[in-house]
Amino acid sequence: MAVAETSLVQKNHQIAAAVKQKIAQLLVEKQAMTDIAHRLSISTSTVIRKLKEFKFEMNWQKLPEIMSWDEYSFKKGKMSFIAQDFNTNEVLAILDGRTQAVI
């Protein structure tokens, strides 16, 4: 089987680089993942895979004076944990679980 290579799509991939960049842009703009998927005619799982590629590095040497945190349902039957600065609403961490071992 021959696979064509272009500057638009990586080898062995089906989604154009421009679409991946648009996914990242819309995620930064706090668009819903299902809305992004519908708008770009891709699956929601593709948007989630792109989100998982992001790397967040936090400086844990200084925490905000007032923090807020919450648990939310990320997937069916799975809860996640989010922590943020209460005053600025800046997200500090999003964790894959809510147990003490994860936090």
Same domain, 28 and 70: no
In this structure, the answer to whether residues 60 and 20 fall within a common structural domain is no
The pTM score is 0.51
> Per residue in 47-72, is it b (16+ CB within 10 Å) or e — as a string?
beebeeeeeeeeeeeeeeeeeeeeee
What is the distance, to the nearest Å, from the Cα of residue 3 to the centroid of all Cα atoms in its chain? Answer: 30
The rounded mean pLDDT for the chain is 81
Q: Is the pLDDT of residue 1 over 60?
A: no
Of the ranges 30-34, 63-67, 97-101, which one carries the lowest mean pLDDT score? 97-101
Number of domains in the chain: 2
CATH number at residue 25: 1.10.10
Same domain (yes/no): 43, 83: no
Q: How confident is the model at residue 82 (pLDDT cuts 50, 70, 90)?
A: confident
Q: Are residues 13 and 34 in the same domain?
A: yes
One domain, residues 36 and 80: no
DSSP bridge partners of 84: 68, 91
Residues 70 and 80 in one domain: yes
Q: Are residues 40 and 74 in the same domain?
A: no
CA 31 – CA 39 distance, rounded (Å): 11
Q: Do 1 and 49 fall within a single domain?
A: yes
Query: What domain range is 29 assigned to?
Result: 1-54
